[in-house]
Amino acid sequence: MTGYDDESAARALIVRTARSLFTRGLTHGSTGNLSVRLADGSLLLTPTGSSLGTVEEAELSRTDLTGHHLDGPRPTKEAFLHAAFYRARPTAHAVVHLHCTHAAAVSCLDDIDRANALPPLTAYYAMRVGTLPLLPYHAPGDSGLEPLAERTARTHHAVLLANHGPVVAGRSLAQAADAIEELEETAKLHLLLRGHTTRPLTREQAAALAPTSS
Beta strands at 134-135 and 43-45: parallel, antiparallel or unpaired: unpaired
Residue 182: predicted pLDDT: 98
Residue 80 lies in a domain: yes
CB atoms < 10 A from the CB of 147, how many? 10
How confident is the model at residue 212, as a pLDDT? 78
CA–CA separation, 22 and 15 (whole Å): 10
Write out pLDDT tens, residues 156-212. 999 999 999 999 999 999 999 999 999 999 999 999 999 999 999 999 999 999 997
Residue 71 lies in a domain: yes
Crossing angle (nearest 10°) for helices 173-192 and 7-23:
20
Q: Does residue 38 lie within any of the structural domains?
A: yes
For residue 198, tell me if it sits in a domain.
yes
Instruction: Please tell me which residue in 7, 57, 124, 185 is annotated as part of the active site.
Output: 124
CATH code of the domain covering residue 85: 3.40.225.10
Asked if the structure places residue 1 within a domain, the reply is no
- Total tally of structural domains belonging to the chain: 1
Q: Domain for residue 157, yes or no?
A: yes
Region 43-56: mean pLDDT is: 97
Which is nearest to 171 in space by CA: 83, 95, 97, 92?
A: 92
What pLDDT score does 135 carry? 98
- Domain membership of residue 25 (yes or no) is yes
Which candidate in 78, 146, 150, 181 is catalytic? 78
- pTM, two decimals, is 0.95
**CA 58 – CA 155 distance, rounded (Å):** 34
- What stretch of H or E contains 8? helix 7-23
Q: Which domain holds residue 133?
A: 7-209
In a domain, 2, yes or no: no
**What's the pLDDT score for residue 1?**
58
- State yes or no: pLDDT of 147 exceeds 80: yes
Q: What local confidence, expressed as pLDDT, does residue 32 receive?
A: 97
Asked if 124 is an active-site residue, the reply is yes
Could you report the per-residue pLDDT of 86-133, keeping only the tens digit for each?
999 999 999 999 999 999 999 999 999 999 999 999 999 999 999 999
Q: What is the pLDDT of residue 150?
A: 98
**Residues 6 or more apart from 129 whose CB is under 8 A from it?**
118, 158, 168, 179, 182, 183, 186, 211
Q: Among residues 172, 155, 94, 165, which one has the least CA distance to residue 134? A: 165
Query: Is pLDDT above 80 for 213?
Result: no
Distance of alpha carbon 14 from alpha carbon 81, whole angstroms: 17
